């Protein structure tokens, strides 16, 4: 067995152990709610992540992440096949070691989000595009259509693959050679994408309209763009970017890595961009850095050590009974807050939550359904469930003190029945 495969198998074993031990995040609990209400697609995202969570709940009730994590780990094999024509065996090994600790590709693969299947299907699509360009024929066109369709079932980012593939094709062949394969390719994509299209047709194209408007503000805030740039700088890391810059002449890498980064950079002038959205750029930028070896070997090795140290520190934090006060304003601390809620609010019934994250995590923790109050905060999957609308004349609601209830309940009497720390309260709403 080659060193590459030895590392791959050891890493898979470590991932499975960690994902069986780490607590489920609120977003993962939300996708588990989806899995318990299987649909062709969903308001927030395409259905792939829900299908994977459903499979995990069926096959491994004690480790619902495992099917998705195994799939994500197989993505490393797919990306390795993609890079085979550019990398030597030693460079392949370098890319694997870097990828296993790169924040969004390595530690990020321990958490089940739509980015996990996206990482796999994006690499599969680029590999299929590469083979289609080498041998444009019916079989390769259908394979490309299948991989594009799977990417679209993972996340709507799939649309960004079209200009990448077009530019790759333009590098090697005239566009007129593409025309004869567009029909079988397009039909294949539409067949795979049909669950999303059918669901959106049945729901007035709600998901498409939400994605188009999601994060698009009217007035630009400089913080949107500055935070986006700083997040990418931190996630990709200056040493990796500096090494990648020296391989910028490799056009295939440059096209595939820069288009998502540029697209979301431009989007940051219209709305807030989450740090993980340009994930598809990261494996390609890492590939460019590896192409610059051996010149940057020491710098990249130091980067792996740093990433590994940060990952170890985060894992230790989860094992500690008490966390440093400095973490109280971070996303990590949300789990501790929800655990406090779970221990102090179980006596109230019927109980509703202020957000989909809170409702989902309490449902997972208590092993019984808790619903977000319909029309509270932004629209999400809970708003489509009839159970999110109370039928009783009195119910309890977990809120933050400055929350405002939906219009339908603003005439109801509000009684603060319990304060939970400084951040949460339980209100009783009574119909007049």
Q: Measured between alpha carbons, how far is 363 from 269 in angstroms, rounded to an integer?
A: 37
Do 47 and 194 lie in a common domain? yes
In order, the DSSP letters of 287-329 are HHHHHTTTTTHHHHHHHHHHHHHHHHHHHHHHHSSS--GGGGG
Is 322 in contact with 278 (CB distance < 8 Å)?
no
Phi/psi at 101 (5° precision) = -120, -10
Q: Which residues contact 157 (CB under 8 A, 6 or more apart)?
A: 118, 122, 151, 260, 277, 280
What is the pLDDT, as a whole number, of residue 315?
84
Do 426 and 351 lie in a common domain? yes
Domain boundaries, position 34: 3-315
Nearest to 349 by CA among 239, 402, 428, 288: 428
In a domain, 324, yes or no: no
Nearest to 125 by CA among 84, 88, 82, 95: 82
Nearest to 105 by CA among 260, 278, 265, 298: 278
Domain boundary among 315, 343, 369: 315
In order, the DSSP letters of 67-109 are HHHHHHHHHHHHHHHHGGGT--HHHHHHHHHHHHHSTTTTGGG
In a domain, 320, yes or no: no
Neighbour order of strands in the sheet with 351-353: 371-372, 351-353, 394-399, 424-430, 413-420
- What is the 8-class DSSP label of residue 111? S
- Give the pairing type, strands 424-430 and 394-399: antiparallel
Do 274 and 381 lie in a common domain? no
Task: State the angle between helix axes of 138-154 and 179-202 in degrees (0 to 180), rounded to the nearest 10.
Answer: 30
Is 99 in contact with 285 (CB distance < 8 Å)?
no
Do 292 and 362 lie in a common domain? no
Question: Is the four-CA dihedral 365, 366, 367, 368 of positive or negative sign?
Answer: negative
pTM score over 0.85: yes
Is 216 in contact with 271 (CB distance < 8 Å)?
yes
Do 97 and 238 lie in a common domain? yes
Do 88 and 144 lie in a common domain? yes
Do 389 and 270 lie in a common domain? no
What is the pLDDT, as a whole number, of residue 210?
84
Q: Measured between alpha carbons, how far is 171 from 173 in angstroms, rounded to an integer?
A: 6
| 135 alpha carbon, distance to own chain's centre | 33
Do 303 and 405 lie in a common domain? no
Do 308 and 360 lie in a common domain? no
Domain boundary among 254, 283, 315: 315
In a domain, 322, yes or no: no
Do 105 and 34 lie in a common domain? yes
pLDDT tens digits, one per residue of 326-373: 565 666 667 778 888 898 888 999 999 999 999 999 999 999 999 999
Helix (H) or strand (E) holding 371: strand 371-372
In a domain, 182, yes or no: yes
Q: Measured between alpha carbons, how far is 13 from 122 in angstroms, rounded to an integer?
A: 24
Nearest to 25 by CA among 108, 120, 101, 100: 108
Do 122 and 198 lie in a common domain? yes
Nearest to 207 by CA among 282, 114, 138: 114
Q: Which residue has the tokens 């619903």?
A: 371
Q: Measured between alpha carbons, how far is 132 from 333 in angstroms, rounded to an integer?
A: 47
Domain boundary among 315, 348, 377: 315
Instruction: List, for the chain, all residue ranges whose pLDDT scores fall below the cut of 70.
Output: 175, 177, 214-218, 321, 323-333
Q: Measured between alpha carbons, how far is 429 from 314 in angstroms, rounded to an integer?
A: 40
Do 272 and 345 lie in a common domain? no
What is the pLDDT, as a whole number, of residue 323?
64
In order, the DSSP letters of 162-226 are HHHHHHHHHHHS-GGGTHHHHHHHHHHHHHHHHHHHHHHHHTTTHHHHHHHHTT--SS--HHHHH
In a domain, 325, yes or no: no
Helix (H) or strand (E) holding 418: strand 413-420
Number of domains, the chain: 2
In a domain, 107, yes or no: yes
In a domain, 323, yes or no: no
In a domain, 189, yes or no: yes
């Amino acid at each position: 067995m080659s060193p590459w495969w030895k590392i791959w198998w050891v890493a898979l074993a470590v991932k499975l152990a960690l994902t069986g031990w780490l607590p489920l995040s609120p977003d993962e609990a939300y996708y588990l709610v989806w899995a318990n209400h299987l649909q062709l697609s969903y308001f927030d995202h395409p259905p792939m992540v829900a299908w994977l969570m459903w499979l995990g709940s069926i096959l491994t009730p004690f480790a619902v992440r495992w099917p998705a994590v195994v799939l994500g780990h197989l993505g490393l094999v797919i990306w390795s096949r993609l890079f085979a024509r550019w990398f030597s065996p030693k460079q392949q090994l370098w890319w694997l070691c870097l990828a296993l600790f790169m924040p969004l590709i390595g530690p990020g693969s321990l958490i089940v989000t739509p980015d996990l299947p996206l990482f796999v299907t994006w690499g599969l699509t680029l590999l299929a595009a590469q083979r289609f360009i080498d041998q444009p024929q019916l079989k390769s066109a259908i394979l490309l259509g299948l991989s594009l369709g799977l990417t679209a079932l993972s996340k709507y980012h799939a649309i960004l693959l079209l200009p990448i593939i077009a530019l790759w094709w333009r590098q090697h062949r005239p566009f007129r050679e593409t025309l004869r394969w567009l029909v079988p390719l397009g039909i294949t994509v539409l067949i795979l994408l049909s669950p999303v299209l059918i669901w959106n047709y049945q729901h007035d194209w709600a998901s498409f309209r939400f994605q188009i408007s999601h994060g698009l503000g009217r007035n630009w805030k400089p913080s949107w763009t500055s935070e986006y740039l700083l997040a990418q700088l931190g996630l990709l890391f200056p040493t990796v970017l500096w090494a990648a810059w020296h391989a910028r002449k490799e056009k295939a890498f440059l096209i595939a890595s820069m288009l998502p980064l540029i697209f979301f950079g431009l989007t940051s002038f219209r709305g807030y961009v989450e740090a993980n959205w340009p994930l598809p750029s990261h494996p390609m930028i890492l590939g460019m850095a590896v192409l610059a070896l051996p010149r940057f070997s020491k710098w990249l090795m130091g980067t792996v050590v740093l990433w590994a140290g940060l990952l170890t520190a985060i894992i230790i934090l989860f094992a500690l009974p008490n966390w440093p006060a400095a973490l109280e304003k971070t996303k990590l601390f949300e789990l501790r807050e929800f655990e406090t809620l779970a221990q102090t609010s179980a006596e109230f019934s019927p109980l509703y939550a202020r957000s989909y994250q809170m409702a989902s995590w309490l449902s997972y923790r208590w092993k019984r359904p808790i619903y977000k109050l319909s029309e509270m905060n932004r629209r999400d999957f809970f708003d489509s469930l009839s159970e999110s609308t109370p039928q009783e004349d009195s119910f309890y609601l977990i809120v933050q003190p400055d929350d405002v209830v939906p219009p339908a309940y603003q005439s109801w009497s509000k009684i603060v029945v319990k304060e939970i720390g400084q951040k949460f309260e339980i209100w009783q709403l009574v119909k007049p």
